[in-house]
Amino acid sequence: MYRCYEEHELGDAAERKLRTHYPQAADTLPAQASDTPAGCPVELFQQATANQLSHRSVSPWRYTLKTLDDHFPSTYTEAQCLCSGCILIKDPDSEPDKTPLPVESFDYNSVPIKQSKVFLKRELCSDGKRYYLKPVTLDVAVGCTCARVKTTSS
């Protein structure tokens, strides 16, 4: 059975429970609002190499801030793939003096890499006044990778 808490006790209780029973890496990644438009940054591959793996990947991503009401933690960052395809370097056809160019190839898909993360969900106790903290596991995207396109067999 779960212990019931007053509303004002929930934050401290959740923090304590997460720290002792469900330790996880700190969520300190810079994030953008999820409603900010995102596009496939093919042009970045023509510039000097970026430091962050998320910008150097052939399946680049950004981190967005997500909110889950009635959960602890209530906000977290999640990776969002920036391309549908994957960025490949295309060799110029039969023109040796031309520079190879990056292009988004739809022969491959950018797909999220997911990791299970434990959250504590606030649930109403049977007395209808206090709350208990129920552990729930959610899959959270932590990056993106390039994969072959799914094919359907007939």
Q: Tell me whether residue 8 is in a domain.
A: no
Range of the domain at 92: 31-121+136-148
The tokens for 127 are 């007395």
Whose structure tokens read 């996880």? 24
Which residue, chain included where needed, has tokens 């552990």? 135
Residue 154 lies in a domain: no
- CA 125 to CA 11: how far, in whole Å? 16
73 within a domain of the structure (yes/no): yes
Distance CA 122, CA 11 (A): 10
Residue 101 domain-assigned (yes or no): yes
List, for residues 20-32, the tens digit of each pLDDT value: 888 777 665 666 6
10 assigned to some structural domain: no
CATH number for the domain spanning 64: value is: 2.10.90.10
Residue 92 lies in a domain: yes
153: number of Cβ within 10 Å: 3
What is the count of structural domains for the chain? Answer: 1
Residues 119-142, mean pLDDT to the nearest whole number: 95
pTM of the full predicted structure? 0.78
- Residue 17 resides in a domain: no
